Amino acid sequence: MKTLFLALTGLLLAVMTGGPSLSLAESQPYTSPEMIKKLHIFRNKVGAVFILPQALGPHPGASYILSRAKELHLTPAQISRIRMIRRHMVTRSIRQFARIDKLRAQFLSLMESRNPPLQKGRALYKHLTRLMAQATFDHLSGHVEVGKVLTNEQWKLLK
C-alpha cells in the first residue's frame, strides 16, 4: 500500500510539473555559449530599460524564430541571417543598457540632495529617457528585420 501511494504521488508530481524543463541552451538551437550568456544579461535588463516592451509582441524575436527553425523550414541562409541580426541586436542593447545604467545612477545621485539642481536634473532625465526610447526602438527595429527574413508561408506558420 505504501509503495502504491509513493508511486501515485510521484506520478502526480511528474504530471503537475510537466516533466523536465528544457534549459536555455536546449531550447535555443543555433545559439553559441557566448550568445547564451549575452541573452541572459539582456533578458535580466530589458524590463527596466525598454519603454514599451509590449510593442515587441507582434514582432517575434530572433531567438523565438530560431527555436522554431525546423517547424518553419528555415534555410541555412535564413538561419545565418537571423543569427547575425540577433548578435547585432543583443550586443547593441547590452552597450545601450550600460550607458543607461550609468546615466540613471548619475540622475539618482544628483537628486539625493535636499535642494537638487532641477535644471541639470531635468536635462539629465531627458537624456536618459531619450536613450531608453532609442534602445527600445533599436531593438524593435531588429525584430522587424528578423521578420523580413521570413517568407509569407513561414509567417503563416507562426500564426
pLDDT in tens, 24-49: 445 566 778 888 888 877 877 777 77
For residue range 80-100, list pLDDT tens digits in order.
999 999 999 999 999 999 999
**Cell 537638487 belongs to which residue?**
116
The answer to whether residue 8 sits within a structural domain is: no
Exposed, middle or buried, 65 (CB in 10 Å: 0-12/13-18/19+)? buried
- pTM (whole model) above 0.85: no
Domain boundaries, position 151: 23-158
Range with the lowest mean pLDDT among 18-22, 141-145, 149-153?
18-22
Question: Is residue 23 predicted with pLDDT exceeding 80?
Answer: no
What DSSP letter does each residue of 83-152 carry, written as one string? HHHHHHHHHHHHHHHHHHHHHHHHHHHHTTSSS--HHHHHHHHHHHHHHHHHHHHHHHHHHHHHHHHS-H
17 lies in a domain?
no
Which pLDDT band holds residue 16 (cuts at 50, 70, 90)? Answer: very low
| Average of per-residue pLDDT across 49-67 | 80
In a domain? residue 51: yes
**Stretch 5-20: mean pLDDT:** 36
Domain tally, the chain: 1
Q: What is the per-residue pLDDT across 97-143, written as a single tens digit (0 to 9) for each?
A: 999 999 999 999 999 989 999 999 999 999 999 999 999 899 899 99
* Inside any domain, residue 125: yes
